[in-house]
Structure 1
Amino acid sequence: MTLNCKGALIDLSSPKVMGILNLTPDSFYDGGKYKNRDAILSRTEQMLEDGATFIDMGAYSSRPGAEHVSEDVEMKRMLPILELILKNFPDTLVSIDTFRSKMAEACLERGAAMINDISAGNLDPKMFQIIAQNQVPYVMMHLKGTPQSMQKEAQYDDLIKDLLFYFSQKVLEATSKKINDIIIDPGFGFAKTTSQNYTLLNHLDLFHSLGCPILIGLSRKSMIYKILESSPKEALNGTTCLHTIALLKGANILRVHDVKEAMECIALVEALKANAL
């Protein structure tokens, strides 16, 4: 299983890490930490040195109940930083975390390698067109409602069946529009309760039936620190524990705040699998 990123084939037979670079002031874990040029470049360089294959940049907070910001604000946060990173680290495979097609198009024109859309095109019907025109990998996440309303919409007839049906329809739509490199993100924490998140993790291997790579976003989320009665800051050990489970169930990409620890987790799980009898 491979992804074509700017002409380079990324082999997912060994899981890869996507490092998070939040450019928002209100992200649940690292909001507001990267406000200046030096902090942004230092963070990016460290993630690349630690082994990140992708850098995922977001300028619109999608945490539950996050404030809605305009497209202009998202653009002003994102575009100068994207240009800064690609000027200093030109070979970086930058993923853009956005649900807006205009934003996606502007970033792809400036050298971004892929788009990570929390809404799988539901919040902007032009998104599929932009992805198809640019022939870039596309992460499609499961979300009900919007970041502002999603926690009120965590009702399902059958969680796993509902998500599998959702993605089968989305994959069919995307492939019919000539989108080739599709990545599935089940959307941990998005319109799902804590117990639903664990049900989803328990059955993650079923999503391989869709025939697409699976991206997992568990890093420091509330499904970890609520169980442990701690905080995002104290949730690294719990994150590593759940990353191990996700990898054993076949996750292909880990989207993380802590790249070094995720790479170590991958190395150990790969050693375990390589020595299975």
Structure 2
Amino acid sequence: MAAGKPPVIQIRRVTKSYGHGDATVHALRGPSAPDGSPLGVSLDIEEGDFVAVMGSSGSGKSTLMNILGCLDVPTAGRYLLDGIDVGHLDEGQLSLVRNRKIGFVFQSFNLVPRTTALAQVELPLAYAGVRAAERRRRALAALSLVGLGERAGHKPNQLSGGQQQRVAVARALVTSPAMLLADEPTGNLDSHSTEEVLGIIDRLNASGRTVVMITHEDEVARHAKRVIRLVDGAIISDVRQAEVDGPPPALAVEVGV
């Protein structure tokens, strides 16, 4: 990480609650004040880190992911993404931030049927107003990065589950986002495809990409440099497994670091 550069993610005393009065549910609350009120979640994620966020159903991990991904806004607190305070943005501005700053990879691939891999990966660039020739060049480069340069003309029904997820990873990368946000990215994959996709994410992180991955699987979390666990809307543990500036753990084992 460059000296003096602020974290990609800075969260300060963020809470998220639903309902009112006695029916209020605190999906994200952080530690409690002496009077029992929520103090909120605070978290920094540095450029180049690889963070796994873990927790059971109802722990708050999906709520945190939605806030990190600018898909939802906190009830209270501040969120700075790559130096931008997203709390003051309207929906149109949030949409721009999502398009330019965040690459999303979801469990369900979210590919468009009957559309080629190349066109899928070009889509975020089209939204961003990038010209056709440049879109094609960057999309082909992203597909090559995930080992699918030869499959650019294939549609989802001509690709395996692992290949479809790799197309989704290429689509997430093509805008050169500040952060790759992966929500259970291997949840629908067999063990071989899981290792392939995690290997790609490992290499992306090793090249400097910041990764935040939501998972409930210890095997998947072992790939991360840092593991955060949530229970009842609060961080209960934050364990570093590898240094921010080094390779992720699985790659470190491969190369004997």
Query: Normalized against structure 1, the TM-score is what?
Result: 0.39
Task: Decide which structure has the larger Cα Rg and report it.
Answer: 2
Tell me which of the two structures has the higher relative contact order, counting C-alpha pairs closer than 8 angstroms and 6 or more residues apart: 2
Query: Normalized against structure 2, the TM-score is what?
Result: 0.41
- Structure with greater proportional helix content: 1
- Structure with greater proportional strand content: 2
